[in-house]
Amino acid sequence: RDLLLLCGGGAKNSFLAERIKVMMPNTEVVIAANADSLEAMAFAWLAYKRIHREPVDLKDVTGAGENSVLGGLYE
């Protein structure tokens, strides 16, 4: 059985959680402890990866063929 942690705004959206349960019946949907902090940490990690030009592996998430550097820096 898969596990999906909801965090950030998604953790406060009961409709979203219910739809995920219907569409993914073999997935346990859990509201993450410290849901807002977890979302903030995820975005901090993504920002770190971008600033240091480190590619992110999203193959399992998006089906991308290769890792890529995400986002853009503007001055």
Structure tokens at 43: 């975005």
Task: For 17-71, write each residue's pLDDT tens digit.
Answer: 999 999 999 999 998 888 889 889 999 999 999 999 999 999 988 999 999 999 9
The SS3 assignment for 7 reads: coil
User: Alpha-carbon distance 9 to 14, whole Å?
Assistant: 10
pLDDT for res 36: 86
Structure tokens at 20: 């995920």
Structure tokens at 7: 């965090």
Task: For 12-25, write each residue's pLDDT tens digit.
Answer: 999 999 999 999 99
What is the pTM for the complete model shown? 0.68
